[in-house]
Amino acid sequence: MASRQNGSKNLIVIGSHWGLDYVAIPDYQSLMLPVLESCSKGEVRIGSVVDELANKLGLSTQERSELLPSGQQTVFSNRVHWAKSYLNKAELVEITRRAYFRITTRGQTVLQTSPQKIDIKFLMQFEEFRRFRERSTAASQSESETPGPTAEDQKQTPDETMRMAYRQIETALIHDLMERIREAPPEFFERLMVNLLLSMGYGGSTVDAGRTLGGSGDDGVDGVIDQDALGLDRVYIQAKRYAAGNNIGPGAIRDFFGSLDRHKATKGLFVTTSTFSPSAKETAEHLSKRIVLIDGDQLARLMIRHNVGCRIEQTLDIKKVDEEFFE
């Protein structure tokens, strides 16, 4: 381990034995050579390799525990698994039993050449790996007329690439939802909020548990949700359909607080298609009644999560080998 100067900051160089130069979690291609070396003396368990490499690379506790969005596996472990998988496709390692693998004769020959790095481009010299890549490329191009970046061009694992694409699609959907809401009449926004809260489970299954109150006599509230069958506990809603950049200030929060007081309500929900100013958020925090603030981005994400104003276009099932079946 060594340090170098970069302006006024000291950077730590870790893993120079493998030609790596980083302080963050390395990508899966950078891990291929370390994974191959980890099994150079015989059969190893993948979990032990993950721990061993994390120690050698000096990963922090936070880096070791950083999870994928699914929450099922750490980022570092996922990348080590993908590195092992690609080495297996090139027949540099072989799976011996569940969670265990070892180096092959071909893998030993590769290590004897002292490679500086093993990546997708390096593995393409092996016919078995080329056939695997050809099958993968053909399958992906049959699904899309526009081919995406190849594995040689990107550093993400297929898992990460898929999730990145999902986030891009979701971001575009959030923008589209906000545009449609802003273009709709004001009363549509009020109905939307009632429907969303009912979809989230507020009001239960009671008939007419949610209703809009928009109009000249609404006393500053646009909707109400009964949280029990008798309407003893209610949540009042204020919905402001503003353009982006037209932020809600503290005055609107205080006015809504007064409306809740007139309705003898203890809690309220203030929703806007724009955002809240810092002073508006601070005002809501210090008032004696519980007022929850939902901005445009939060609103769109709730709509997506509960399928309000959007629908599932396609479902992709990600499957893996059932190890117990083969045992």
- Pick from 213, 197, 198, 215: which is nearest to 269 by CA? 197
Identify the bridge partners of residue 53 per DSSP, sorted by sequence position. Answer: none
pTM above 0.75, yes or no: no
pLDDT tens across 195-209, in order? 888 888 876 555 555
In terms of residues, how long is the chain?
327
Residue written as tokens 């809009």?
A: 212
* Percentages (nearest 5) of helix, strand, coil residues in the chain: 45, 15, 40
Compute φ and ψ for 167, nearest 5 degrees.
-65, -35
Residues 19 and 125 in one domain: yes
Question: Three-state SS string across 177-198, please?
Answer: HHHHHHHCCHHHHHHHHHHHHH
319 vs 302 pLDDT, higher one: 302
Average pLDDT over residues 120-145: 78
- Pick from 299, 315, 250, 307: which is nearest to 276 by CA? 250
Average pLDDT over residues 223-251: 80
Could you give the count of Cα atoms lying within 13 Å of 207 in the half-sphere of its Cβ?
0
pLDDT of residue 13: 37
Domain hosting residue 18, numbered range: 2-156
Residues 132 and 197 in one domain: no
The rounded distance, in Å, linking the Cα atoms of 20 and 27 is 10
Work out the burial of residue 297: count CB atoms within 10 Å of its CB; fewer than 13 is exposed, 13-18 middle, 19 or more buried. middle
pLDDT of residue 241: 86
27 vs 316 pLDDT, higher one: 27
**Last residue of some domain: 101, 121, 156?**
156
Average pLDDT over residues 240-247: 85
Residues 191 and 297 in one domain: yes
Average pLDDT over residues 318-325: 83
Average pLDDT score, the chain: 82
pLDDT of residue 212: 61
52 within a domain of the structure (yes/no): yes
The lowest-confidence range among 4-8, 54-58, 176-180 is 4-8
315 within a domain of the structure (yes/no): no
The lowest-confidence range among 55-69, 187-201, 226-240, 302-316 is 226-240
pLDDT above 70: percentage of residues in the chain: 80
Strand-pair category, 267-272 with 290-294: parallel
* Region class of 200: left (phi > 0), else alpha (psi between -120 and 50), else beta: alpha
The rounded distance, in Å, linking the Cα atoms of 245 and 181 is 15
CA 113 → CA 9, 37, 117, 118, 123, distances in Å?
A: 36, 12, 11, 12, 14
Residues 151 and 11 in one domain: yes
Residues 118 and 236 in one domain: no
pLDDT of residue 208: 57
269 within a domain of the structure (yes/no): yes
pLDDT of residue 140: 55
The rounded distance, in Å, linking the Cα atoms of 294 and 80 is 39
289 within a domain of the structure (yes/no): yes
Compute φ and ψ for 271, nearest 5 degrees.
-120, 140
- Domain CATH number, residue 263: 3.40.1350.10
pLDDT of residue 104: 96
Listing DSSP states for 107-149 in one string gives HHHHHHT--S---HHHHTTSHHHHHHHHHHHHHHHHH-SS---
